[in-house]
Every structure is written in structure tokens, then in C-alpha cells.
Amino acid sequence: MSSNRARRSVPPSYSQRLLNELDGIAASYAEVIAGSTIRYVNPNNEGGGVYFVGASNYGWGPSDAAHEAARMALLGTVRDWTTRFQLMFRHPVPTVQERLDDALGHLERWLIRDVHWDHSIPSDHERAQHVLGGVVKTLKDLMTLLPADDVAVRVLPDTNILIDNPDLAAYTSVVGAAYVVHLLPVVLRELDDLKRSGRTPELREAARRADRRLKGIRDNGDVRTGATVSGQVRAVFEFKEPRPEGLPEWLDLSVPDDQLVAAALLLKSEHPGSALYIATGDLNLQTKLAAVGLPCIEAT
């Protein structure tokens, strides 16, 4: 396979998928705004005798059942996306945090509509669509602030793919000649377990073969920063276990596949400037990765 063909086969990166999802959210949001009513709500008037401090001029009108359903569906999408988007900003400075809070809060607020006086609501739909465009632009601009990485590509293999082929340089035809492989504790634990208690002798021997291959790499450099595999491929042996804080709520960290997904999300948040690909042929794991927008590859 030529390098050009291989490059075209690489799926969109996690960052690009987040941006693509944001475009989808913006399109759905535009429909919600178009189906909304905006009305004048300021109760203050000359000679009224009572003045309402902080009253806004405009507010959302009531929604019918179909429009409420559309708002709730989009709110769920926004919240799921927000959790994963915020993981990209693990250590924001105050100015970045403020922009994040303002933009993400705006997306929620205009769907929930529980603020009595919301001064961000303009007088008509055209202006509302313009405001929405500004919020989306802010979020996209924030992505450009993420730090660059001296490693362009990172690969995270699962246990099964290591058993099938323990050669960590097997992905060069897919992602290019230079990348770092990250070996997770959950994967190494599973290999250890399979060496002793794999269901067949062939599986146990395959696990031992993978284990020997990986132990041989440990002698080629610092496993914390990257031991040489071959050429421009290096391997990092990870030691951190994922914690649930800030991760999608549906992840169950007692399940190995979910541990891998969680660890992959956290690894991506630590290296936002790299393209991260999970190497797996496991259909269930591929499905879970798709749910969080993480791209997967297989060795060729």
C-alpha cells in the first residue's frame, strides 16, 4: 500500500470529530432558534409606578410539545459533547476558563430557558442566529489555543490486537513512520491474566509471546518517556489509572473496555496537540470509542 493511500485511510482525529460534532450542534441549534418565538417581556413602563430592576427587554415565548422535545434532545447532545470538549482543557488559565464557561453556559441556557431575565436574548431571530454563530466561533477559537505537541501521532493498542500481532511498529503503513505507542495498565494486566488463565493453550502462548515482546522493548530506553521500538516508533508504558471525574457518566470503570476508553480520553486530554488512534479489532470496544468520538485503526 502506498503511503498516500494509507494516509487517506486514517480516520478523522478526535479534535476534528469534536469540531464536526460542534457543526452538527450548531445546525440543530439554528433549527431550534428558528422554531422559537421571541417576545418583548420588559414590564417597566412610564408611569407604571413600579420599576423592576434587572428586567430584560426580550425573552423566549412558550414552546409546544414538539419544540420542547427538540430542545431536550439537543440539550442531551450538548451536554455529552461538553463533557468531552472540556477534557481538552485540563489546565485552563482564568481567561480561558471564563470564555469556556460563558460559551458553554450560553448553549445550555438558551435550551433550558429557566432564567427569568436573560439579557442575552436579542429582539429577533436573525440577531439570535448571529449570537449563536458568535458562541460557536468562540468554542472553535478556543481549540486553536491548545498547545502543540512534538509528537504528531499516538497509538493506543488494546489487548486483543497485541495478542494477534505484538509488533508495535505494525501501524506505520496506517499512521506514518513516526508515532508513540502507549501501553495502558489495563492492557498489561489482561495480558498477564491471559498468560496464566487463557481459555486455550494457544491463547496463553500468544499472551506470553506478546509479553516477551513488550518486556524486550523495556530495555531500549526510558519507558516513561518512550523506549525505542524500531525506527521512529517509541513505546511508553503508562502507570496512571483513570478516575471518573470529568468523564462521561456511562463509563463503568470496573469494565476493562470502559477503563481503556476512559484512559484514552484522559491521554488525549494530556496531549491535545497529538492525533490519538486506538488500535483495536474488537467490535464492542469500537462501538464505545465511536460513542465518545475516539478514532480507531487496525494493523495492516
Encode pLDDT of 130-182 as tens digits: 999 999 999 999 999 998 889 999 999 999 999 999 999 999 989 999 999 99
Amino acid making up residue 57: N
**Spatial separation of the C-alpha atoms in residues 83 and 249, rounded to whole Å:** 9
Which pLDDT score, from 0 to 100, does residue 206 have?
A: 94
**Spatial separation of the C-alpha atoms in residues 300 and 293, rounded to whole Å:** 22
Mean pLDDT computed over every residue of the chain = 91
Q: What are phi and psi of 276, to 5 degrees?
A: -110, 130
Is there a contact between 174 and 297 (Cβ–Cβ < 8 Å)?
yes
pLDDT tens figures, 179-202: 999 999 999 999 999 999 888 999
Which pLDDT score, from 0 to 100, does residue 48 have?
A: 62
Which pLDDT score, from 0 to 100, does residue 56 have?
A: 84
Which pLDDT score, from 0 to 100, does residue 4 have?
A: 42
**Spatial separation of the C-alpha atoms in residues 181 and 157, rounded to whole Å:** 7
| Average pLDDT over every residue of 219-224 | 89
**Spatial separation of the C-alpha atoms in residues 113 and 118, rounded to whole Å:** 9
Residue 53 pLDDT grade (very low, low, confident, very high; cuts 50, 70, 90): confident
Which pLDDT score, from 0 to 100, does residue 5 have?
A: 41
Which pLDDT score, from 0 to 100, does residue 6 have?
A: 41
Please say if the pLDDT value at position 80 is more than 60. Answer: yes
Please say if the pLDDT value at position 291 is more than 90. Answer: yes
Percent of the chain whose predicted confidence (pLDDT) is above 90: 79
Per residue, the 3-state secondary structure of the chain, as one string, reads CCHHHHHHHCCCCHHHHHHHHHHHHHHHHHHHHHCCCEEECCCCCCCCCCCCCCCCCEEECCCCHHHHHHHHHHHHHHHHHHHHHHCCCCCCCHHHHHHHHHHHHHHHHHHHCCCCCCCCCCCCHHHHHHHHHHHHHHHHHHHCCCCCCCCCEEEEECHHHHHHCCCCCCCHHHHCCEEEEEECHHHHHHHHHHHHHCCCHHHHHHHHHHHHHHHHHHHHCCCCCCEEEECEEEEEECCCCCCCCCCCCCCCCCCHHHHHHHHHHHHHHHCCCCEEEEECCCHHHHHHHHHHCCCEECCC
pTM, full prediction: 0.85
Residue 8 pLDDT grade (very low, low, confident, very high; cuts 50, 70, 90): very low
